[in-house]
Structure 1
Amino acid sequence: MGAGGRMSVPPSSAKVESDVLKRAPDSKPPFTLGQIKKAIPPHCFQRSVLRSFSYVAHDLIIASLFYYVATNYFHLLPHPLSYVAWPIYWAVQGCVLTGVWVIAHECGHHAFSDYQLLDDIVGLVLHSCLLVPYFSWKHSHRRHHSNTGSLDRDEVFVPKKKSGIRWYSKYLNNPLGRFLTITITLTLGWPLYLAFNVSGRPYDRFACHYDPYGPIYNDRERVEIFISDAGILAVTYGLYRLAVAKGLGWVLCVYGGPLLVVNAFLVLITYLQHTHPSLPHYDSSEWDWLKGALATVDRDYGILNKVFHNITDTHVAHHLFSMMPHYHAMEATKVIKPILGDYYQYDGTPIYKATWRETKECIYVHPDEDDDKQKNKGVFWYRNKLD
């Protein structure tokens, strides 16, 4: 069994840690994608409009209830309690809206229904309401799935080689620096990625998710980027009108706080799915699609796994079959784990500990220096020594 199988019977804490950090295989898998797919029940690939919309309705109803309570009862609380109530609202509402974001993500993968137009309409509406340029992200995210684990062509959280790390990295390689890095990443990481392609694949000129003529997109995709921008502008104008009518403070409390939580989770989830001491990365000499797709890790967010529609603990299956609906991904994961064996990576480390550890251990990637006759020089592993 792979890491997931080993974690099913908890050994001592020391053994768990060493088991979790054990390197994943980097050789060509002894199975094919077709063999994996054949083991998954056929119904797992079936998309249901009604079932998919039931998750949309579920999340929006809960979000509406939280909104109703916050806007109708928080002002009745004794003054000091409101300072506690609003942050709680931001946290819980942000978690629910992260689930809404995940459903729009499903639409971008054509995993919501059998109708591409319906998927795009639902995805555009939901993502625009969260200030996400739907088509812009859809196309760059598709390229991420096509090139996962590739140091040359992957689109997001592409690790740097040692020669590419910034001069100031050594000054951040301490507890205070890591805390600052995590804080900036979770608060500004998502808008910086969209606007300036920070942490994304390097391009030969300025890349931006809002630029229809940027290097991220081809000529066939440019019209859709304009549509994404129009969706963002429409929602932004709506927020402006709300601020005029109810005040900027009201908009920031009701909408801005939860949105910060959504953005933080998007960055955190993506970062932890693709950043782990056990995961290999490949240059063009070693990379192939299946090895790259397996260079991901499932994580355990506790009750939030369900709130986030299991995007957190079924990510390996998602990278193998991105058009599979989220409500079948858990069943598929259980089936494929015995086939993947050691190629399946799971880490049950508490998320706050994992975030700190990965920020400390995964600074840059480098091939093993003691490989015989340049063997596996195209396989890169995370390192943290900056001397």
Structure 2
Amino acid sequence: MATKRNVSSTKEEGPVIDEAIERNWEIPDFTIKEIRDAIPAHCFRRDTFRSFTYVFHDVAIILALGYAATYIDHLPSAPLRLALWSFYWIAQGVVGTGVWVIGHECGHQAFSPSKAINNGVGMVLHSLLLVPYHSWRFSHSRHHKATGHMTKDQVFVPHTRKALGLPAREVDPEGDGPHSALEESPIAMLYNMVMMFVFGWPLYLFTNVTGQDYPGWASHFNPYCDIFDSNQVSEVYQSVAGLLATIGLLTYCGQVFGSLAMIKFYVIPYLFVNFWLVLITYLQHTDPTLPHYRENVWNFQRGAALTIDRSYGFILDYFHHHISDTHVAHHFFSTMPHYHAEEATVHIKKALGKHYKFDPTPIPQALIKSWKTCRFVEDEGDVVFFKN
């Protein structure tokens, strides 16, 4: 039986769920089989040809946008040139994020029944976006296997009270917060958001920022760090080689077309892709209404349910291949192709009932809410919610 205490527990003693009780949070008790049985069997079928049509769709739009952009600098109006370049950067970033999502599906073996096709396509698509394909595939698999787990999840792991240097709750004069009015000022928030959205993804790849605190240089470019198992070393090297090949290609294009052209045609859209990636993943797993679990409470299906579906509007959902508004389905069944996820979500929603989470809050408002209220969790307890 669950108990209410102020100290850590062992499995023999039973889980400590003080915060779950305080917030009227019901820990779900369903099985993966129950959820899977609620979804039509065809939703799990992978169709290689159909998957490739999405690659061709996205690549065709990217090439068309790039070709059209070659005419921008020939226009006489400077304001018009700026407006059209801005449109190009935003549009290319949106479509490029869709390419990133397809590469991510390859990493989950959701693109095709063939492992060779999955890894071949994923390697190409992610390398062209400067993502170390296998390295990220391995760490992302760990994230899926331990979503919402305080000590095993791999990304957007909450800071604890102790890690932020805050006093223990019982002696903290500010209690559950807020703890810093300065950090909530508009200027500070804007600065920190810009830092996260511009540098967050590269820093995660290079230094595992927001991930688990592994010893030494934990990096997607270090095959010998604790992110990876010993049998994954060679594929991490392949990932690095893929990035080096892309960097070499970009360097060559810079010499042929000029550095400014590469910045306008590739670098700025690349930054927009990173922005969407960080925003989407942050809001999928960071919300004041969702807890994190420790070992005594966590299991796979409970962790998978610690995910929020959000819609970014028809256009963005379409070009992002519904990675945001069907993410709960993706976490339960990551080998399910994205083109079946909308249908599967209808059935998952019914099967999960009140444990299915969809937040209709407008994205800017949801970002500000999560940013201001999701700073840390308590060091103790088996169900912990964000505090500020």
TM-score between both structures, scaled by the size of structure 2: 0.88
Secondary structure at the aligned position of 1:192 is classed as helix
Question: 1:330 pairs with 328, 342, 345, which one?
Answer: 342
**Aligned residue type for 2:386:** Y
CA deviation digits over 1:102-160, x for unaligned, max 9? 00000000000000011000000000000000000000000000010011110000011
Q: Is the 8 A contact 1:23 1:279 kept in 2?
A: no
Question: 1:275 pairs with 282, 286, 290, which one?
Answer: 286
1:55-70, aligned counterparts within 5 Å? 55-70=54-69
Runs of 4+ off more than 3 Å: 22-26
Secondary structure at the aligned position of 1:202 is classed as coil
CA deviation digits over 1:185-243, x for unaligned, max 9? 10100000001111111112220101111221111101000100000000001111111
Residue 83 of structure 1 aligns with which residue? 82
Question: 1:379 pairs with 357, 380, 383, which one?
Answer: 383
Residue 192 of structure 1 aligns with which residue? 203
- Structure 1 residues 348 and 367 mapped into 2: Cα distance closer, same or farther (>3 Å)? farther
- Structure 1 residues 23 and 336 mapped into 2: Cα distance closer, same or farther (>3 Å)? farther
Secondary structure at the aligned position of 1:43 is classed as helix
278-287 or 248-257, which moves further after superposition?
A: 278-287
**Aligned residue type for 1:58:** H
* Cα offset, 1:339, TM superposition: 1.3
Residue 341 of structure 1 aligns with which residue? 353
- Structure 1 residues 166 and 123 mapped into 2: Cα distance closer, same or farther (>3 Å)? farther
- Distance in 2 between residues matched to 1:319 and 1:367, nearest whole Å: 26
Residue 179 of structure 1 aligns with which residue? 190
Residue 50 of structure 1 aligns with which residue? 49
Q: Is the 8 A contact 1:24 1:278 kept in 2?
A: no
- Distance in 2 between residues matched to 1:339 and 1:233, nearest whole Å: 45
- Distance in 2 between residues matched to 1:247 and 1:25, nearest whole Å: 57
* Cα offset, 1:76, TM superposition: 2.5
Q: Is the 8 A contact 2:162 2:379 kept in 1?
A: no
Equivalent pairs, count? 353
**Percent of aligned pairs with the same amino acid:** 45
1:355-374, aligned counterparts within 5 Å? 355-366=367-378
67-76 or 42-51, which moves further after superposition?
A: 67-76
- Distance in 1 between residues matched to 2:53 and 2:24, nearest whole Å: 37
* Cα offset, 1:77, TM superposition: 4.3
* Cα offset, 1:362, TM superposition: 0.7
**Aligned residue type for 2:375:** I
Matched, 1:219 2:230: yes
Secondary structure at the aligned position of 1:123 is classed as helix
Q: Is the 8 A contact 2:72 2:84 kept in 1?
A: no
Unaligned runs of 5+ in 2: 1-21, 167-178
Q: Is the 8 A contact 1:24 1:280 kept in 2?
A: no
Residue 117 of structure 2 aligns with which residue? 118
Matched, 1:290 2:301: yes
CA deviation digits over 1:86-116, x for unaligned, max 9? 1211100000000000000000000000000
- Distance in 2 between residues matched to 1:238 and 1:361, nearest whole Å: 43
**Aligned residue type for 1:358:** S
* Cα offset, 1:244, TM superposition: 1.1
- Distance in 2 between residues matched to 1:43 and 1:159, nearest whole Å: 37
Question: 1:249 pairs with 260, 266, 283, which one?
Answer: 260
Q: Is the 8 A contact 1:24 1:342 kept in 2?
A: no
- Distance in 2 between residues matched to 1:56 and 1:75, nearest whole Å: 31
Residue 18 of structure 2 aligns with which residue? none
Unaligned runs of 5+ in 1: 1-21, 369-376
**Aligned residue type for 2:383:** V
Q: Is the 8 A contact 1:74 1:85 kept in 2?
A: no
Q: Which has the higher helix share?
A: 1
**Aligned residue type for 1:179:** L
